[in-house]
């Protein structure tokens, strides 16, 4: 029996209003979803609930809106993409609480699916504010959390609701936890982690514990720049959180004490503009021009990363090594992904990767199916790896 309640425990839900927290924080370019993996992964839960006659009300966030509602962060286009993936109509309400949401829910028939607007249009969501949670709960009889990739957030829609309504883990939440336990519960050493991407401030603290769990930590992407700057390297106009230099230094100290190797880029692909076709050059990491941005790790670094992948028995990866959405800055990510996939196929590596953009990058490289396991989660996956309790999972425990 699972440690938490699953859809096997949900009972008769015919005609019931089921609030389902999903992660629709998918990569989007020019208004189009560029990787639908997160939508595909929630399809089984939605089909099961709808098939049992529930009114399925989806709750989700999109991006990190700062100032309330804005079209840029609306879930409306994602409702259309969700309908396409599910192959069935998905209604949309332009608010997640109040009369607009209430009327849309009241108009639902058994089996219908409705997506409510971005929960993060309310600041109260991220504060897990009890009054806001009650407003969300007003539209449901039951809560199902299928957003493992947002389970590291103690927000109203990920944690608070489970205190107010009978609550269950969705099929994806269940599958993610089971797959991670199977792949990484007792990992074969050496364990090598690759961490890149752009969410530096929200992920850097995780590295403090991660260096105690892995034998080597390869740092690429935007994350590397903060470490390079902390070490005194001039990273020009690169994405870099200079105020996090003390944290980066402390992580390097902790890593040395734990015997974890830290691998930083020795070269980078530098451009002056962040756009397709921008002129770029590969330079030694000590030679980044003042007006340049490192948008990918360079060829020498790619070789070094390949050597670490060869040494690894287990690979854990979150965060692309460069701005892979724009060629040619996808080069290092694609090369490392193909290398890890080949080792996995040869039976020499257990490879587990996760994160909304990381999954998109592996799909872009054409190797997502060759990894041992691909999680929808990035930050949540790293926190799980750290052994940290995930609020959205903990609250579902029996």
Ligand X SMILES: O=C(OP(=O)(O)O)[C@H](O)COP(=O)(O)O
Q: Is 61 annotated as a binding residue?
A: yes
| Shortest distance, position 152 Cβ to ligand ADP, whole Å | 11
CB-nearer residue toward ligand X: 298 or 356: 356
Gap between the Cα atoms of 127 and 276, Å rounded: 38
Q: Which of 187, 265, 378, 392 binds ligand X (CB under 6 A)?
A: 378
The closest alpha carbon to 386, from 265, 210, 219, belongs to 210
Q: Any catalytic annotation for residue 199?
A: yes
Residue 34 interface partner, choices ligand ADP, ligand X, none, CB cut-off 5-8 Å depending on type: none
Contact pattern for ligand X over residues 61 through 100, marking x by CB under 6 A? ---x------------------------------------
Q: Which of 140, 187, 356, 391 binds ligand ADP (CB under 6 A)?
A: 356
Q: Which stretch binds ligand ADP (CB under 6 A): 152-160, 205-213, 280-288, 354-362?
A: 354-362
Q: Is 381 annotated as a binding residue?
A: no
**Does a cis peptide bond (omega within 30 degrees of 0) precede residue 190?**
yes
Interface residues for ligand X in 16-45 (CB under 6 A)?
23, 25
| Of 199, 231, 237, 338, catalytic | 199
| Shortest distance, position 377 Cβ to ligand ADP, whole Å | 8
Gap between the Cα atoms of 79 and 118, Å rounded: 11
Tokens coding 87: 């192959």
Q: Which of 170, 197, 236, 298 binds ligand ADP (CB under 6 A)?
A: 197
Q: Applying CB under 6 A, what is the total number of residues that bind ligand ADP?
A: 21
| Shortest distance, position 203 Cβ to ligand ADP, whole Å | 6
Interface residues for ligand ADP in 224-263 (CB under 6 A)?
239
- Cross-strand pairs, 92: 115
CB 57 within 8 A of CB 95: no
The closest alpha carbon to 21, from 165, 129, 169, 120, belongs to 169
At residue 267, φ and ψ (nearest 5 deg) are -150, 165
Burial class for 199, CB neighbours closer than 10 Å (0-12, 13-18, 19+): middle
3-state secondary structure 252-286: HHHHHHHCCEEECCCEEEEECCCCCCCCEEEEEHH
Q: Should residue 199 be labelled a site residue for ligand X when binding is judged by CB under 6 A?
A: yes
Q: Which of 319, 349, 362, 395 binds ligand ADP (CB under 6 A)?
A: 319
Q: Any catalytic annotation for residue 98?
A: no
Q: Any catalytic annotation for residue 379?
A: yes
Q: Should residue 292 be labelled a site residue for ligand X when binding is judged by CB under 6 A?
A: no
Q: Is the dihedral of CA 119, 123, 124, 127 positive or negative?
A: positive
| Of 38, 52, 135, 343, catalytic | 38
Gap between the Cα atoms of 156 and 139, Å rounded: 14
Rg (CA), the chain: 21
Q: Any catalytic annotation for residue 356?
A: yes
| Of 140, 196, 356, 392, catalytic | 356
In this structure, are strands 167-169 and 191-195 parallel, antiparallel, or unpaired?
unpaired
CB within 8 Å of 199: residues ≥ 6 apart: 319, 378, 379
Residue 294 interface partner, choices ligand X, ligand ADP, none, CB cut-off 5-8 Å depending on type: ligand ADP
Q: Should residue 294 be labelled a site residue for ligand ADP when binding is judged by CB under 6 A?
A: yes
Q: Should residue 318 be labelled a site residue for ligand ADP when binding is judged by CB under 6 A?
A: yes
The closest alpha carbon to 142, from 41, 11, 251, belongs to 11
| Shortest distance, position 339 Cβ to ligand X, whole Å | 22
Q: Is 63 annotated as a binding residue?
A: yes
Gap between the Cα atoms of 106 and 84, Å rounded: 24
For ligand X, the binding residues (CB under 6 A) are 23, 25, 64, 149-150, 153, 199, 202, 355-356, 377-379
Q: Output the known binding site.
A: 23-25, 38, 61-64, 120, 153, 203, 325, 355-358
For ligand ADP, the binding residues (CB under 6 A) are 196-199, 221-222, 239, 294-295, 318-320, 322-325, 355-358, 378
């Amino acid at each position: 029996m699972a440690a938490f309640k699953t859809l096997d425990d949900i009972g008769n839900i015919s005609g019931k209003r089921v609030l389902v927290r999903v992660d629709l924080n998918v990569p989007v370019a020019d208004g189009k979803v560029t990787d639908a993996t997160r939508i595909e992964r929630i399809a089984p839960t939605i089909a099961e609930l709808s098939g049992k006659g529930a009114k399925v009300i989806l709750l989700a966030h999109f991006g990190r809106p700062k100032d309330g509602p804005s079209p840029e962060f609306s879930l409306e286009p994602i409702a259309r993409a969700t309908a396409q993936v599910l192959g069935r109509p998905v209604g949309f309400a332009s608010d997640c609480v109040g009369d607009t949401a209430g009327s849309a829910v009241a108009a639902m028939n058994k089996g219908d699916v409705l997506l409510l607007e971005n929960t993060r249009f309310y600041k109260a969501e991220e504060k897990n504010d009890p009054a806001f949670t009650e407003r969300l709960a007003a539209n449901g009889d039951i809560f199902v959390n299928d957003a493992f990739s947002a389970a590291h957030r103690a927000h109203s829609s990920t944690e608070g609701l489970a205190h107010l309504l009978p609550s269950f883990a969705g099929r994806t939440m269940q599958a993610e936890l089971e797959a991670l336990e199977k792949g990484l519960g007792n990992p074969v050493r050496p364990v090598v982690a690759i961490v890149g991407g752009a969410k530096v401030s929200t992920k850097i603290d995780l590295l403090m514990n991660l260096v105690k769990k892995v034998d080597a930590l390869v740092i690429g992407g935007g994350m590397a720049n903060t470490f390079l700057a902390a070490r005194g390297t001039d990273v020009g106009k690169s994405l870099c959180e200079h105020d996090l230099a003390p944290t980066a230094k402390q992580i390097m100290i902790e890593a040395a004490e734990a015997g974890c190797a830290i691998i930083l880029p020795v070269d980078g692909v530098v451009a002056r503009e962040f756009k397709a076709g921008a002129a770029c050059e590969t330079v030694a990491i000590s030679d980044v021009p003042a007006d340049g941005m490192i948008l990918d790790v360079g060829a020498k670094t790619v070789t070094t990363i390949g050597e670490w992948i060869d040494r690894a028995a287990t690979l854990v990866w979150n965060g692309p090594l460069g701005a892979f959405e724009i060629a040619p800055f996808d080069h290092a990510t694609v090369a490392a992904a193909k290398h890890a996939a080949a080792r996995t196929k040869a039976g020499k590596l257990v490879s587990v990767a996760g994160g909304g953009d990381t999954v998109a990058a592996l799909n872009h490289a054409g190797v997502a199916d060759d990894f041992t396991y691909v999680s929808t989660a990035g930050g949540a996956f790293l926190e799980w790896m750290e052994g940290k309790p995930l609020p959205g999972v903990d609250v579902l425990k029996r």
